[in-house]
Structure 1
Amino acid sequence: MFEYGPDGKTLAPSAKNPTDYHGTRVVRVIAAKQDNIGVEGFAPTSEIIAIRQVSTWSSSIILAFQVAKLMKADVINCSWVLPLLSGITSLVIENVASASNAPIIVVSAGNSGKKACEVNHLSALSSVVVIGAINKNGNVAEFSNYGQCVDYYAPSSIASTSLNGYVNFGGTSSSAAIVSGVVAQLKACGVEYPLTKLTMVENILPAHVVNKNNIKSVTLIRSKGSEINEH
């Protein structure tokens, strides 16, 4: 539908370096078309608002979210982390989340193997949905950030596009992309409260039922809420 680069305030921004294709891989997971040739996205009928957000400048991030709001985005994917988050940026994101079309902001927890609240300040916002990664055994992946700020866990390995065909796309970026695609498809199907339906989707698990498998004791928590138990 629309392309924009907040850093340079340009329309139709082009890729500048290999890391730019991270966004392309995220979009493929969400919305690759049904063409019987390549892999298919989770929400193949979705329309894409492509915002090339590369820097962590507050001014650029604010502009990116404002563009998403003006375009009335239903799902906003943030497959990236922010080690620092200004107060004004937080207020802008909260404002976008409260828009009349009720957009859902999906954020990746990050890949440091640490508590998400401490290393990804974007994850601490109450208005976003934070996604960590699980391995094939259903436990938190060793690299995935975890803890109180994570809401759901999803698989972290999926085929995606690259310059030369297809590659395996992993990390919490792909986990967040999977959830973004599922939510977008649920919205497209008219589901009024898509987040309440996430646990009906295979391999998408609420945080309080997932164990961190590389520590001996773990506190299970409700998403951004009270503790349940320890074991």
Structure 2
Amino acid sequence: MEFRNLMKTPWLAAWMLILLVHPAIAADLRFSNFTNTVVIYTDESMPYWQTADGRRFQVAPRIIVRTHADNSPPLERAHPAINRIQPLFQLGQTHLYLLEIDARPDNLQTVLNALEARPEVAWAQPDLLQQRTPAHASHGVTGGRNTALPALRLNWPVLQQHNRGQGIRIAIIDDGIDLTHPALRQTKVAFAYDIGQRQLDASPQLAADTHGTRVAGVLFAATEGLDQPGLVPDAELIAIRQPDTWTSNTLLAFHLAQLAGADIINCSWHSHGLLQPVADAVSALAQYGRDGRGTAVVFAAGNQGQRITATSSEAAIDAAIVVGMNSPHSNFGPSVDLVLTAAPMRSTAVDGGFAPIGGTSLASSQVTAALALLLARDPRQDLTALLSALQQGASHD
């Protein structure tokens, strides 16, 4: 989904022209990701970059930098190829910037090296596009499970006894939400934005944009046409369409969710690798969001039946609330916080009809709703207390 129409992008067309002018050039790019050195390479036969184990990327003439403090002006002097610097994500002690550089194949590594040598720079990475998997996708099942965690059933009559999410803002970062659907028209929309189109509208734009509307239905749908209505119809929605995995766009999505006042951020998807800029942003939200009480960032574990390793996906982020499903399809590992038992259900679809949702997409959406209900009951709770209250109020299978 991410690689479509890329040649319509001016910077990529320019880059490919450079490669055509200089044929038979092989190149590699090295950068730090947590404590590891990542090496990606390309040559004239490949329209992409890849790692030795076959993970593929697109690379832009942009660099993401974290500084130890708010030190954007000195970065301009790091290298003459830097054309523009803009703040990308700012929260607490986390200061992330996007640097645009001259689009020459040798500039990226040179500028990365220059930035990493500066004392005010914590790390620097190229802006990357990698493959994303919606959490409802299921393949490659290995049959593992979270044996260390009990499978929980959420008690909705008790959770919904006093409220339906009043006063809570939930951000859904996904591939677009069809708010013209009859069952979603009553949704209280606090903010909507399309990261790709840079416009104040999070409507689906492509045929593949189906996932976000289903997630929204679990949370906000009216009863018409559904066996089960939305779980938190009185909460407010922050709808953010972010259909690709450019690191800079993902960071912008989190930044906008924070600025719009999100109490909870739902991410029912994962990429094929965890990058440090995303992990740092999620950690900052969990530490500094909601005036220091912590914004809950909920990630689906994924449905490949595989162990989550330290950098395998966003589901490895310690500061996130990672939700698995009581199923052999669910990904598993020490970063998973909750495992739910929940039957697949019908939810809203982009054609005005209804479609099934299940797996960890459903589980993470339901946990998002449960957290909203608990937070509406007592908005002063921090993340630790909130997660504890959810676990204590659920029954064990």
For the criterion TM > 0.5, the same-fold answer is: yes
1:197-216 deviation per Cα after TM superposition (whole angstroms, max 9, x unaligned): 1124445x6xxxx8xxxxxx
Secondary structure at the aligned position of 1:54 is classed as: coil
- Where is the strand percentage greater, Structure 1 or Structure 2? 2
The structural deviation recorded for 1:106 is 0.5
- The answer (yes or no) to whether the contact 1:110–1:145 under 8 Å persists in 2 is yes
Of 34, 46, 54, the residue aligned with 2:243 is: 54
| 1:5 counterpart residue number | 194
Secondary structure at the aligned position of 2:209 is classed as: helix
Following the alignment from structure 1 to structure 2, what is the Cα–Cα distance between the partners of residues 143 and 117? 16
The structural deviation recorded for 1:123 is 1.6
Of 328, 332, 335, the residue aligned with 1:149 is: 335
1:118-172 deviation per Cα after TM superposition (whole angstroms, max 9, x unaligned): 67421221210100111xxxxxx12110121211011251221123433321121
- The answer (yes or no) to whether the contact 2:324–2:332 under 8 Å persists in 1 is yes
| 2:362 counterpart residue number | 174
The structural deviation recorded for 1:44 is 1.6
1:96 partner amino acid: L
Following the alignment from structure 1 to structure 2, what is the Cα–Cα distance between the partners of residues 174 and 185? 17
1:121 partner amino acid: S
Secondary structure at the aligned position of 1:48 is classed as: strand
1:179 partner amino acid: V
The structural deviation recorded for 1:59 is 0.5
1:93 partner amino acid: V
2:365 partner amino acid: A
Following the alignment from structure 2 to structure 1, what is the Cα–Cα distance between the partners of residues 308 and 268? 13
Following the alignment from structure 1 to structure 2, what is the Cα–Cα distance between the partners of residues 47 and 10? 20
Of 257, 264, 267, the residue aligned with 1:68 is: 257
Distance change in 2, residues 1:126/1:63 (3 Å): same
- The answer (yes or no) to whether the contact 2:274–2:311 under 8 Å persists in 1 is no
- Where is the helix percentage greater, Structure 1 or Structure 2? 1
Deviation larger for 64-73 or 192-201: 192-201
Secondary structure at the aligned position of 1:10 is classed as: coil
The structural deviation recorded for 1:63 is 0.2
Secondary structure at the aligned position of 2:315 is classed as: helix
Deviation larger for 14-23 or 41-50: 14-23
Secondary structure at the aligned position of 1:19 is classed as: coil
Following the alignment from structure 2 to structure 1, what is the Cα–Cα distance between the partners of residues 343 and 364? 9
Following the alignment from structure 2 to structure 1, what is the Cα–Cα distance between the partners of residues 192 and 318? 28
- The answer (yes or no) to whether the contact 1:113–1:142 under 8 Å persists in 2 is yes
| 1:21 counterpart residue number | 210
2:262 partner amino acid: A
The structural deviation recorded for 1:175 is 0.7
User: Paired residues, what number?
Assistant: 198
| 2:372 counterpart residue number | 184
Q: Which structure has the bigger radius of gyration?
A: 2
Distance change in 2, residues 1:185/1:157 (3 Å): same
Of 100, 114, 118, the residue aligned with 2:306 is: 114
| 2:345 counterpart residue number | 158
Distance change in 2, residues 1:165/1:26 (3 Å): same
- The answer (yes or no) to whether the contact 1:110–1:116 under 8 Å persists in 2 is no
| 1:124 counterpart residue number | 316
- The answer (yes or no) to whether the contact 1:69–1:99 under 8 Å persists in 2 is no
Superposition pairs of residues 194-209 of structure 1, within 5 angstroms: 194-202=386-394
| 1:133 counterpart residue number | 325
Report the TM-score when normalising by structure 1. Answer: 0.78
**Runs of 4+ residues deviating >6 angstroms:** none
Following the alignment from structure 2 to structure 1, what is the Cα–Cα distance between the partners of residues 329 and 365? 17
**Percent of residue pairs identical:** 32
- The answer (yes or no) to whether the contact 2:258–2:289 under 8 Å persists in 1 is no
Distance change in 2, residues 1:67/1:156 (3 Å): farther
